[in-house]
Chains A and B, each alone.
Chain A
Amino acid sequence: DADVTQTPRNRITKTGKRIMLECSQTKGHDRMYWYRQDPGLGLRLIYYSFDVKDINKGEISDGYSVSRQAQAKFSLSLESAIPNQTALYFCATSGGNTEAFFGQGTRLTVV
């Protein structure tokens, strides 16, 4: 089983719909992150959490929200999806200054 699991792997949704992307990890790490990857722009940080009760905005948090339900789970929500949120989304975990472990990604298309 993967250390960092994202669901769904692919999703097509309509403009205005609410969608949730889920992430779970078995690494036992405290830190979890959500990134967005667009062609030519690299990975950009949306939100991050250092603990269950800790939520922090990243570089591009507008239009997104997150929930850290447990140490192992970190979900990303798009309250009202729009086409420019079409992208590849990655969840990652790390244990402080250690390597970041990435999930397999969720390809989201908003039509």
Chain B
Amino acid sequence: KNQVEQSPQSLIILEGKNCTLQCNYTVSPFSNLRWYKQDTGRGPVSLTIMTFSENTKSNGRYTATLDADTKQSSLHITASQLSDSASYICVVRSGGGADGLTFGKGTHLIIQP
């Protein structure tokens, strides 16, 4: 069964600090991996997409990495801001199956002033 595990489940850091969120997956066949940001009460919004051949991709202060061999991805947030407080969801797309998407349960990030 395809699975996506995220850690930590929740995280509290001070404004200005950096943090790294983890995603481990067992999805086959692998197509791509996306990180979504979900603000409270809103729909998820895509931050980055990683394909099999990509190791790292940045979107402003967000940097995602992918190790396809170990089936791990991370999302690094630099110089955190209050607006970064949200849930971050790792989503892996497979080459087959229903919608082809396997969702992690998310990491709830709180930035404190």
CA distance A92 to B106 in the complex (A): 18
The 0/1 profile, CB within 8 Å of B marked 1, for residues 60-104 of chain A is 000000000000000000000000000000101000010110111
Q: Chain A: how many interface residues by the 8 Å CB criterion? A: 23
In the bound complex, how far is the Cα of B93 from the Cα of A58, in angstroms?
Answer: 15
B44 x A102 contact (CB < 8 A)? yes
Question: In the complex, what residues of B have CB within 8 A of residue A97's CB?
Answer: 31-32, 93, 100
Contact of A45 among B42, B99, B105 (CB under 8 A): B99
Proximity string of chain B (26-67) to chain A, C-beta cutoff 8 Å, 1 when within and 0 when not: 000001101000000111111001000000000000000000
Chain B residue with Cβ nearest A2: B43
Contact A41 B42 (CB under 8 A): no
Interfacial residues, chain A to chain B (CB-CB below 8 A): 4, 31, 33, 40-45, 48, 56, 58-59, 90, 92, 97, 99-100, 102-105, 107
